[in-house]
A = this chain, B = another copy of it.
Amino acid sequence: MGVNMRDIATAAGVSMGTVSNVLNHPERVSPKLVERVQSHILRLGYVRNDAARQLRAGRSDTVGLVVLDLRNPFFTEVARGAELRGEEHGLNLMVTNSDDRTYRELTHIDRFEEQRVRGVLITPTPGGMERLHRLRDNGTPVVLVDRESRDLSFPSVSVDDVAGGYLATKHLLDSGRRHIAFVGGPLSIRQVADRLEGAQKAAAEVTGATVEFLGTPGLTVGAGRDVGRTLCERDAATRPDGVFSANDLLAVGLLQAFVMIGKLAIPDDIALVGYDDIDFAASTVIPLTSVRQPAEIIGATAVDLLVEIADNPTGTHDRVVFQPELVIRDTA
């Protein structure tokens, strides 16, 4: 199948080198030949073979992105930002999701390495870090997304999650809440741990304030619903009066449970703050107070960082940290 460069060369009565030049360096070829070759390309429907180009070039024009969860609108926005910015650099983006499973993440990284991608953008699971070091040492640039490397050995673009957690919790405390519940998990996800840390920091500043940790297996609507139900069953004494959830998906689930069961008034009996400010946060049963992160910009910045270190691998690693912002609506 397929017309190749040789066919074009033969048809146009020129050498393959000339066809290649017409395609890649038209200025080196006389105008009349350019036109002749072009017409044959069109006539025969030639499509260049990317595999061959890559093989010759030794690298591809693809950037790999591994996100934790594609169903989370936050990551969709990140991907969108990365895709658009990548287009500007002539790069295309390959999006995959790990579902927070290390083995899936490793598979994706292997694939990317086999494809000699230009670089990898990733929100890693803890188990994947070692592999990432190897990937980087083998020459593939790596940028961490929404996650800083503990030892600062990778460039990263992230949001200050501790600050975000602090912001959310402080808002709850400011409205008089003292028994705060943090809903989220697993703690192996760095963002979750950081947001919890921020919450604890805020609580430490207020006498009498406590943070109760309510772990979840994941950051999904369903997990939030489950926790919401158990909270409704508690009596007023042991029930938290403020809930901060690690992301909006959880918050949506919590809210669903609260409203469905109908025992608790929001925000009077129990206040709720989410995280990410996804598009839907404004549209929930009771519009959700949430912490906003500049998702699309994060994706775009990650690509910029990648391009930068690809051009200049020896430079010190940039770490971009965005500050989150509290968006107050009706749940807290």
- Residues in chain A within 8 A of chain B (CB atoms): 1-2, 45, 47-52, 54-55, 58, 60, 70-71, 73, 76-77, 79-80, 83, 92-97, 110-111, 113-116, 134, 138-139, 221, 252-253, 255-256, 279-280, 282-287
In angstroms, Cα B55 to Cα A48, docked, is 12
Q: Are A77 and B71 interface neighbours, CB within 8 A? A: yes
Is the pair A45, B115 in contact by a Cβ cutoff of 8 Å?
A: no
Bound Cα distance A29, B13 (Å): 47
Q: Quick check: A55 and B49 within 8 Å, CB to CB?
A: yes
Partner of A47, one of B48, B113, B282: B113
A285 to B95: give the CA distance in the assembly, Å: 32
| 3 nearest CB pairs, A to B | A51-B54, A51-B55, A50-B114
Q: Let me know if B48 and A134 touch, CB within 8 A.
A: no
Contacts A1-B139, A48-B114, A51-B52 known; 12 new A-B pairs at CB < 8 A:
A47-B114, A51-B51, A51-B54, A52-B55, A70-B80, A73-B73, A93-B96, A221-B279, A221-B283, A280-B283, A283-B284, A284-B284
A1 CB contact (under 8 Å) in B58, B97, B256, B285: B58
Provide the bound-state CA to CA distance between A48 and B113, in Å. 8
Closest to A62 in B: B94
Q: Are A70 and B60 in contact (CB under 8 A)?
A: no
Determine the distance from Cα of A274 to Cα of B120 in the docked complex, in whole angstroms.
38
Closest-CB distance, A277 to chain B (whole angstroms): 13
CB distance from A198 to the nearest CB of B (A): 25
Chain B's closest residue to A77 (CB) is B71
Find out whether the CB atom of B58 lies under 8 angstroms from the CB atom of A55: no
Which residues on B sit within 8 Å (CB–CB) of A47?
110, 113-114, 138
Determine if B71 and A60 form an interchain contact, defined as CB atoms under 8 angstroms apart.
Answer: no
